Amino acid sequence: MALTEQQLADIAAQREQRATTRRVTVPALEEILFTPTPVLDHGFVRVIDYMGDDGAIVQAARVSYGRGTKRTLEDAGLIRYLIRHRHSTPFEMCEIKFHVKLPIFVARQWIRHRTANVNEYSARYSVLDREFYIPAADQLAAQSTANHQGRGDVLQGEEAAHVLDLLREDSARNYDHYAEMLNENADGTAIDPGRQGLARELARMNLSLNYYTQWYWKTDLHNLLHFLSLRADSHAQYEIRVYAEAMIAMLKAWVPATYQAFVDYRLGAATLSAQMLETVKRMLAGDAVEQAASGLSKREWAELMAVLGRGEG
């Protein structure tokens, strides 16, 4: 991810700002505030603003005037209890705002989480940059034969090279045609002063889904954790998962007690159905349980065996 001199100057100016406040601030998050974390080839994510910390969650749960005499260890224990038992409203007391630059097809996945305030860069008013996502070689995979929305084996040799050539050629050609229809250079000057350009809101439809867009995305902590639990999962599409992983590092800086509870009870945990739990109980009792007699489908059985570290069973 290469930032322009103007963008670097803007970030430096933002980081030089200082404000006196009585509100809670988090030194670890303040340290990285406004700083972009690179994601994919041209993308990034950065924290623009936030409200609250781990203490705000505890305060809301106890409906107290402040931290009182409770110790940090007790606060962390309460947060772990709240996460473990899936309480939500105390975590809604904290909010965070991200600035994200991402490919359009990733944005269309992301926007399915309808629990945030979003303001996206508008190609009706501005010209999109000539930046498009091209997968790294190790992410150029064939369609999975077992999962209709997943990837299979990584493409190799001439086949991989051909696909990359197509992606680059199509992306470059589409942008050239986009600029031609606009009759507009990157600096806003006309390519051909004697010709009228097509309206931006129409010309943009020629661009493919791998072009980059940007938005501000503001959400509360409860909904952020839900987003991260789905999008940082190993089954999530790689291109959105890497954004979630970058945001998890920011979560750790912001609310470390919540982060640890989230890792322990969500990311690193597994949920068992009633039938799965009964099967585990039978196994612990010494029964030689087989899939056919377990009451579980073959897929459920495979998932349970994976959780238990027994392969396909």
In a domain, 199, yes or no: no
Same domain, residue pair 238 and 301:
no
286 domain-assigned: yes
In a domain, 28, yes or no: yes
Q: Are residues 57 and 118 in the same domain?
A: yes
Same domain? For 54 and 110 the reply is yes
Which residues are the active-site residues? 231
| Domain with 279 in it | 274-307
pTM of the model: 0.90
Is residue 44, in this structure, part of any structural domain at all?
A: yes
Which amino acid would we find at residue 33?
Answer: L
83 and 129, same domain (yes or no): yes
**261/285 same-domain check:** no
Domain identity same for 237 and 300:
no
If one counts the domains in the chain, the total is 2
Question: Does 89 lie in the same domain as 22?
Answer: yes
pLDDT digits (tens, 9 = 90+) for 9-19: 999 999 999 88
Q: Quick one: 303 and 262 in the same domain?
A: no
Identify whether 191 is part of a domain.
no
Residues whose CB falls within 8 Å of the CB of residue 260, separated by 6 or more in sequence, listed in order: 76, 80
Whether 47 is in a domain gets the answer yes
In a domain, 140, yes or no: no
Q: Higher pLDDT residue, 187 or 102?
A: 102
229 shares a domain with 287? no
Q: Are residues 284 and 262 in the same domain?
A: no
What's the average model confidence in pLDDT over 293-305?
93
Query: What CATH number does the domain containing 14 carry?
Result: 3.30.1360.170
Q: Do 281 and 249 share a structural domain?
A: no
Answer yes or no: do 48 and 107 share one domain: yes
- Give the pLDDT band of residue 143 (cuts 50, 70, 90): confident
Q: What is the pLDDT of residue 253?
A: 98
Lowest mean pLDDT among 4-13, 105-114, 150-159: 150-159
Residue 152 lies in a domain: no
Report the C-alpha gap between 207 and 171 in whole angstroms.
8
Better pLDDT: 137 or 248:
248
77 vs 144 pLDDT, higher one: 77
pLDDT in tens, 48-71: 999 999 999 999 998 876 655 556
Lowest mean pLDDT, pick from 146-155, 167-176, 185-194, 242-251 = 146-155
